[in-house]
Structure 1
Amino acid sequence: MQNPVLILGASGGIGAGIARRLARQGSSVILHGRQRDRLDALAAEIGPAATVEIADLTDEAEIGALFARIAEARTALSGLVFSVAAPFAKKLTHRTGWGEFDRQITTQLKALHLCAAAAFPLLAGQEATTRMVVVTSEYAMGMPPVKTASYSAAKAAITAYARVVAQEWIGRGVRVHIVAPGMVRTEFTSDIPDAWLEDHVTRLPEKRLTTVEDVADMVAFLMTDAADCLYGTPLQVSRAERR
């Protein structure tokens, strides 16, 4: 039996879409999140190939317990997807308190680092190539919009982190990939007024937003041997104009 892919943040829109896509591709998946009802519903939709794990990724002890449970039940992973995000205060940067930056750094960089360190023994040294995919944001690649400093800074941090780890892990048989989605209509963006989104869409080359399926398809591709040469390269998955 193929080792499973652990999807961190599967209770979110993008994480759930990735889980569905990988399951269709034939992978067994471990669905992580903090909302049990959503994860249970997603697992029921996917079927026997899915199991559920709950953990707070800002808590080092909970992360340790999560990976200990996985190691006991599965012994190894074929992949890890980090698709974690937290809402942020949309304020001008000089009016944003440090606490907001700290919260974003904690939910992004701290969580990714602790999870990557805990996952490494389950990914490295296998006969087949294993993979970690870090979902960041196009805000980390071009000129980010105003009132996003805390979020954009955290996404830039995990992008840089993943690029370094990609070089360090390649010799141990682990490919690290980076996906930078454009704006996707999910619960995470539900506070954005419809009128603003409609106006924004009219300015896009294709007149439509990036979709969950766009991101999930790219992650599914990166989980294959065909994408191996792309390790460590931030890949913009976006319907926005290229800069």
Structure 2
Amino acid sequence: MFKRVLLKLSGEFLAGESGFGISPETTAALARRITDALDGTDIELSIVIGGGNLWRGARNGQGMDPATADYIGMLGTVMNAMALQDAMESAGRPTRVMSAIQMAAVAEPYIRRRAIRHLEKGRVVIFGGGNGAPFFTTDTTSTLRALEVGADVVLMAKNKVDGVYDSDPRKNPDAKFIAQATHLQVVEQRLEVMDATALTLCMDKGLPIVVFDLFQEGNLPRLFRGERVGTLIQS
């Protein structure tokens, strides 16, 4: 059973049916899903959320300096973190937003020991601003923050994808579900779990990953209770 958990969320989870921007209703529903799963547990939860609902450097930043495009994306993750914080606190869960890019008026600066202290006090810590440097994805940020705060696992939340398959189940009806694999098997078979930098770091440090469908009712509470859900990747 995991005690300290890092949950990786997609920015699109906040967008609603439009697929773009931040929907207050959709964000509130997501916050309730997370807070309800935490109720009655002693899980210490941190969250990294992407910014794809607001900005994707490779798509929106065409013609721009790549580093500038990435910084804009990192600012988008802070906006998402603030929206999620507001929704989670409205649902009764104390949170802190910590940003790798300093913006003291809206978020605490990321300080590792302070983040750990927040977790120990039962606050959900939402990490924004990526890792403060361009050319890294939020997958890599998730892995880095998980290792820094001593998380037991990275939970890779998906929507309508219940785990890892040997091929894309949306294109191949014969795709086979993989309940458990090693990091090396995921690398060798080029399974789409997270980017290569993040996956290699997890493999080097022995950090487990669980890929699961966040929106399948009951999945997150089951994970927090220590039950097997989705695909487990470990050394």
The bucket for the TM-score relative to the shorter chain is: 0.3 to 0.5
The TM-score normalised by the length of structure 1 is 0.42
